[in-house]
Amino acid sequence: MRSNRAALRAGVSMAATLPMIAGALALGIPAAHAADGPARDTLAGTRPAWATAAADKGATAHGARVDARVYLRGRNAGGLAAYAKAVSDPASPAYGAYLSAQQARARFGATAAQVAAVKAWLTAAGLKITGTSEHYVSVSGDVAAAERAFGTRLHNYAKGGRTYRAPARTASAPAGLDGAVLTVTGLDNAPHKAASKDRLPPPDAVFKNAGPFSSYYGSTLASTLPSAYGKKVPYAVQGYTGKQLRAAYGAGTRTGKGVRIAITDAYASPTIAYDAATYAKAHGDKAWRTGQLTQVLPADYTRTEECGAAGWYGEETLDVEAVHAVAPAANVTYVGAASCYDDDLLDSLSKIVDNHLADIVSNSWGDIEANQTPDLAAAYDQVFQFGAVEGIGFYFSSGDNGDEVANTGTKQVDTPANSAWVTAVGGTSLAVGKNDTYLFETGWGTEKASLSDDGRSWTGFPGAFTSGAGGGTSRTVAEPYYQKGVVPNALATANSAAGNRVVPDIAAIADPNTGFRVGQTQTFPDGSQQYSEYRIGGTSLAAPVIAAVQALAQEARGGRAIGFANPSLYAKSGSRVYHDVTDSPTGSGLAVARVDFADGHDASEGLLTSVRSLGKDSSLSAVRGYDDVTGVGTPAAGYVDSYRKR
């Protein structure tokens, strides 16, 4: 997982990636389930691609410990996918016929008999049951017991200079279970590992933006700095507020009243209630009502140092304050994960679905598609499908490294944004003018050039790529039906003649150079903890903004849930309810000037001056119609009320 707060507030994308996160399967296609022998069914995707013969370093010691989760397929996996599609498609007679969480479990969840049979199989093999949920049975034991249970051998494999355990062949389950098992995770341990209970660390070190600033786009020109693209450019905004974003995306008088939004991240900021209230008061947002912001948190946290727990505080702060700024009357539930690992994040998503905590879920985290594993993909997609049948929509940031080439050396998309069952949110550079007037947007992609020593030019203008909205064509997820006829064929078939999922679906403000102002308690150099404000961006901003706009749209349709939004988003493609974003909306190059503190918080170590070009997203381009930077576009005036007709 990534927590991008520190990098993106500074306008540079974080290159490091944390533990693997799952990808996604094709829409409506569950994990493969085929005969592996006379009495076993294979669990496809359980042998990772890196477990090759060339990397094999021999059998894992039989006494080594294994912790695994056996995910349950439920009563009717195919029926779950089909019903999720039907209730989400505006053209379907079943559109909007959502089930309650209890009805969904009764119709598609695992039966008591299935759970009992799975437990009996696992314990008979010598594994200990350590937990049971609506979705899985967790077990622990030694390698020998795991090999007996899953019909495979566990070997050690070289991967990236390290050695990890993985199945030597695809795992399987007894055919007598009659397909009760969806998949198993934890047989490979790259990079999953045991962890102890941790305490949350204090807030991160303070970050502040230097000035000069623009209060709105173009309000303050950098008249003493060199020109760019033949003209003087404006200073970066100090950070847009909710009032400016609401105007840009056509909020009108809607406030999200009566709508429930959930936010997931890892860990939990210990100062979120104070920070959110202080920020709202400072910027004229509606004060939080008692009980309007709630948190659902785990009993214990793990891997706090490995995951950079304090860095996630900023993610939560951004998400909560952005949602409230755009949808000030919506109820917000923050569901924190115990760590940044898949199992814990899956638990957070499952809590929302199992208890129907919200209709709209914002998720500002992800990883590269190359790190996805099909076993976890199946588990994620099952949760998303359960959400769809209940009328819950999941919104995921598309990533902050453009096509990922500069970050990984390989062109690829991010995950879980690549899932065909979620709404992937891309990013833009937003220009809001005087009197909160929407001026234009470009696809978010930044090239940076620094001021020369003599102050007379920009060195190497326009400079190097620093960050941009994630997007492109998946290599693993088939093209979903709702993208056909809208997504250009050249994009859909970039990796396969049969067509693949293209990311994103929709977009909103993300560029840190035209970003959003947030307020957060931070640790100052003297050790004190104080509330302060800074500008931030990334698709970690775009996702909660779109989630909030969807809350306004749900209010417009009388509170009826929108659910999985992609079919309705694409049905409106090409209409005036979207801003059709391109990289050159003014017909000439666009840039802003920035002055930053060298040490991130004051001028004691000097200032850094640069020019940031807009609309330069690696190999990705925002063009007329659908594109792989902004999807179908951004919400325009009329978007929110377009849902009143359904």
DSSP line for 116-155: HHHHHHHHHTTPEEEEE-SSEEEEEEEHHHHHHHHTS-EE
pLDDT grade, residue 495 (50/70/90)? very high
* DSSP letter, residue 547: H
Confidence at residue 199, expressed as pLDDT on a 0 to 100 scale: 62
Q: pLDDT digits over 26-54, tens only?
A: 232 233 333 334 489 999 989 998 899 99
Contacts of 129 (CB under 8 A, 6+ apart): 119, 122, 123, 137, 138, 139
pLDDT of residue 498: 97
Q: What is the pLDDT of residue 520?
A: 97
d(CA 70, CA 80): 19
Structure tokens that stand for 409 in this block: 């050396």
Question: Are the C-beta atoms of 430 and 590 separated by less than 8 Å?
Answer: no
How confident is the prediction for the chain on average, in pLDDT? 92
pLDDT for the residue numbered 262: 98
9 in Cβ contact with 536 (< 8 Å)? yes
Helices 101-108, 342-355: crossing angle, 10 deg rounding: 110
For 495-500, the CB contacts below 8 A with 24+ separation are: 500/473, 500/474, 500/475, 500/476
Q: What is the pLDDT of residues 326-355, one digit of tens each?
A: 999 999 999 999 999 999 999 999 999 999
Q: How confident is the model at residue 10 (pLDDT cuts 50, 70, 90)?
A: very low
pTM (predicted TM-score): 0.92
CB contact at 8 A, 520 and 532: yes
Contact yes or no for 495/438 (Cβ under 8 A): no
Phi, psi dihedrals of residue 341, rounded to the nearest 5°: -85, 155
Look at 158-162, 392-396, 502-506, 556-560 and tell me which has the smallest mean pLDDT. Answer: 158-162
pLDDT at position 408 is: 92
Average pLDDT rounded to a whole number, residues 112-129: 97
Q: Which CATH superfamily is domain 209-645 in?
A: Peptidase S8/S53 domain (3.40.50.200)
User: What percent of the chain shows pLDDT beyond 70?
Assistant: 92
d(CA 444, CA 468): 5
pLDDT at 195 over 80: no
Q: Report the DSSP beta bridge partners of residue 502.
A: 473
pLDDT of 555-564, one tens digit each? 999 999 999 9
Which H or E run contains 80? helix 77-88
Over the stretch 448-461, which tens digit does the pLDDT of each residue have? 999 999 999 999 99
Which residue in 321, 309, 307, 320 sits closest to 267, CA to CA? 309
- Of the candidates 513, 504, 397, 348, the one whose C-alpha atom is nearest the C-alpha of residue 446 is 513
502-519 pLDDT tens trace: 999 999 999 999 999 999
CA neighbor of 110 nearest in space, from 87, 85, 139, 132: 132
Tell me, what DSSP letter sits at residue 361?
E
CA distance 501 to 629: 14
| Tokens read off for 85 | 């599609």
Phi, psi (5° rounding) for residue 553? -65, -40
Percent of the chain at pLDDT > 90 equals 88
DSSP string, 461-510: TT-EEEEE---EEEEEEEPPGGGTTTS-HHHHTSS-TT-EEEE-SEEEE-
**98, pLDDT greater than 80:** yes
pLDDT bucket at 17, cuts 50 / 70 / 90: very low
Q: Could you tell me which residues come within 8 angstroms of residue 604 by beta carbon, excluding any fewer than 6 positions away?
A: none
Q: Please name which of 241, 285, 65 lies closest in space to residue 154, comparing C-alpha atoms.
A: 65
pLDDT, tens digit, 9 for 90 and up, residues 242-295: 999 999 999 999 999 999 999 999 999 999 999 999 999 999 999 999 999 999
Residue 482 contacts residue 621 (beta carbons within 8 Å):
no
Dist. CA 250–CA 492, nearest whole Å = 31
Q: What is the pLDDT of residue 101?
A: 97
At 311, which amino acid appears? G
Single-letter residue type at 175: A
Model confidence at 160, in pLDDT bands (50, 70, 90)?
Answer: confident
pLDDT category of residue 5 using cuts at 50, 70 and 90? very low
pLDDT over threshold 60, residue 21: no
DSSP string across 56-111: EEEEPPTTSEEEEEEEE--S-HHHHHHHHHHHH-TTSTTTT-PPPHHHHHHHHSPP
For 29, list phi and psi in degrees, rounded to 5: -110, 110
pLDDT value at residue 183: 96
Q: Is pLDDT of 23 > 50?
A: no
pLDDT of residue 22 exceeding 50, the answer is no
Token pair 């490294």: residue? 401
Sheet holding 162-167, edge to edge: 56-59, 154-159, 162-167
Domain with CATH 3.40.50.200 in the chain: 209-645
Q: Is the peptide bond before 30 cis (omega within 30 degrees of 0)?
A: no
